[in-house]
Amino acid sequence: MAAFADRWPKLVALLLGAVSATGFAPLNFWPLTLLAFAGWMALVAQSPRGRHAFGTGWAFGVGHFALGLNWIATAFTYQAAMPAWLGWVAVVLLSLYLAVYPALAAWAAWLLRPKADSHFAAPSYLLAFAGLWALTEWFRSWIFTGFAWNPLGVVAVPHVAAPARWIGTYGMSAIVCLLAAVLILAWFRRRVAASALSASLLVLWGAAFLTQAGAATDAVVRSKGMKRIPITVVQPNVGQQDKWEGSKADANFAKLARLTAPKDDRPRLILWPEAAIPDYLETGYPSYYYDRAPAAARGRLTNLMNPGDLMLLGALKLEFDKAGDAVGARNAVMTVHADGTLGPRYDKAHLVPYGEYLPMRPILSAIGLSRLAPGDIDFWPGPGPHTLDLGAFGKAGLQICYEIIFSGQVVDRAHRPDFIFNPSNDAWFGAWGPPQHLAQARLRAIEEGLPVVRATPTGISAVIDADGRILASIPMHRPGRIDTTLPPPHAPTLFARFGNILPVGFALLLLAAAIAFRRRGR
């Protein structure tokens, strides 16, 4: 095996990258992730030159992302007039780009390995690798608008993810790399280093776990004197192939209506998925845009509500130019009161390239690639995270679908909400996308110390407490509803107060420690 790795290091790295992705949902084979990372770190350290280290890192990244993001191929099958094979082309092309980040981490770690001891069990090399992985993962979250899907730290959810309260997702990714480093140190019998690193990680986890437990106890005590807010989460099981089929619009609404009908007369917060209805609820559009008058569309909703109910649902809003032509759209969450009036609205800010808008539309349209994004107009972004005051139902932070994956960017810190509502449409995410999406939402709950509620058309809808635990859920491809009360929030976590400055600082601390070890020749 060692001889094969010496001869074909990039092929071995590609295979290790694919194995490492099995730690993500739905497989959750996280021990394989640790073993794959340990093997890859060993390959990189043995590279004869920096460009070889970069190539080995790039090959690993291609395997890692191609398997983990396979659901994107399914998503492309729902694009109008697009051949199915193009989805796999998209997966490969995206993986080729995303692999640059592991390649940079590998190259920089190779440069920082000790000159006198090029062995890959050198503590300085392993610490540098963990810090650099975290930094490059953070870079990936915002460069070119960012694509933060499947950060390595999500494999720790929920059992050992408590340190995310302090060091966030990218800090957790560094810890996963350090756990792989423990395997390397133990294998090569560097007992002192392995014991010291293991003890440090255990102390960090133990302290975070005890702090989390204390926060949970405080939240329960505080909630005893607070009003518990009843919620109804609806999952209609409307597939992507039916969602925008005009002839099925009434049948789709009937599914939502049947599952929403009140069971008693208690006021409740009703939570529907992203883009739940095709109707425009706001007035003021040219009449030919309406299939149903706004008053009638809102009336269909209020017929399902108790007098004191409030509904949050995904809907579309159009933007017009002075001539009255639609020039843009908003992916929005509307607030509908039981009397039919509209409350505050949230517009999705972090849009999906090629899904909700077409970058460089004039150029791509001119060469016949406008079909890469559905529709003739683009969605426009909203201003970013903000909190909706729902009166008796508390304060809601909104994150629509894809937005929930961006660590440190999901809450208006100046106006902290009581919970995060994450309406989504995972119906076109295949078998792997929805459980991965759910796992990342759970990590947001731990980071921010806030409950997260997800409503999706086909699953997985869930109520997640502020510790990332799933209190109630509806499986994929099943209709259902969840009737429960909102879990209490924790006091703001350290991460909730300071955001990604903490994981970046943690990564830099690891790099500083690596440089110190290297200079001492240890």
- Does residue 162 form part of some domain? yes
Written as six digits, the tokens of 71 are 């659901």
**Residues with catalytic annotation?**
274, 348, 401
Q: Based on the fold, state whether residues 2 and 89 are members of the same structural domain.
A: yes
Instruction: Indicate if 412 and 306 belong to the same structural domain.
Output: yes
With respect to residue 369, please indicate whether it lies within any of the assigned structural domains.
Answer: no
CA angle 236, 455, 383 (to 5 degrees): 130
- The DSSP annotation for 164-215 comes to HHHHHHHHHHHHHHHHHHHHHHHHTT-HHHHHHHHHHHHHHHHHHHHHHHHH
Residues 32 and 80 both lie in one domain: yes
DSSP element (H, E) containing 470: strand 470-474
The answer to whether position 375 is within a domain reads no
State whether 59 and 167 are in the same domain: no
CB atoms within 10 A of CB 277: 21
User: In whole numbers, what is the pLDDT of the chain averaged over residues?
Assistant: 88
pLDDT in tens, 317-327: 998 888 888 88
Question: Does 359 map to a domain?
Answer: no
Given this model, what pLDDT does residue 368 score?
44
Domain boundary among 111, 146, 166: 111
Among 94, 111, 128, give the residue marking a domain's end. 111
344 and 468 co-located in one domain: yes
CATH number, domain with residue 392: 3.60.110.10
Task: Quote the tokens at residue 120.
Answer: 């890959």
User: Mind listing the pLDDT tens digit for each residue in 351-380?
Assistant: 887 777 666 555 444 444 444 455 567 888
Same-domain pairing of 76 and 131? no
Task: Indicate the number of domains in the chain.
Answer: 3
| pLDDT 10s digits, 27-40 | 999 999 999 999 99
Same-domain check for residues 167 and 211: yes
Q: Helices (H) and strands (E) in the chain — how many of each?
A: 17, 12
Q: Are residues 475 and 346 in the same domain?
A: yes
Per-residue pLDDT tens over the stretch 441-481:
999 999 999 999 999 999 899 999 999 999 999 999 999 99
Answer yes or no: do 99 and 134 share one domain: no
Domain limits for position 173: 119-226+496-522
pLDDT tens digits, one per residue of 127-160: 999 999 999 999 999 998 899 999 999 999 877 8
Residue 18 lies in a domain: yes
Secondary structure element (H or E) that encloses residue 140, with its range: helix 123-140
Q: Tens digits of per-residue pLDDT, 169-223?
A: 999 999 999 999 999 888 877 777 777 787 877 888 888 777 777 766 666 556 6
Q: Tell the residue number behind the tokens 């109910």, with chain if given.
A: 309
Same domain, 248 and 126: no
Q: Is residue 296 part of a domain?
A: yes
- Predicted confidence band of residue 6 (pLDDT cuts 50, 70, 90): low
Query: 476 and 501: one domain?
Result: no
Write the pLDDT tens digit of every residue in 410-435.
999 999 999 999 999 988 888 999 99
DSSP string of 329-364, one letter each residue: EEEEEEEEETTS-B---EE--S--BTTTB-TTHHHH
- Judge if 174 and 207 occupy the same domain: yes
State whether residue 311 is helix, strand or coil. strand
Kindly report the pTM of this predicted structure: 0.91
Q: Which of 95, 111, 127 is the endpoint of a domain?
A: 111
Residue 202 lies in a domain: yes
14 touches 62 (CB < 8 A): yes
Name the percent of the chain lying above pLDDT 70: 88
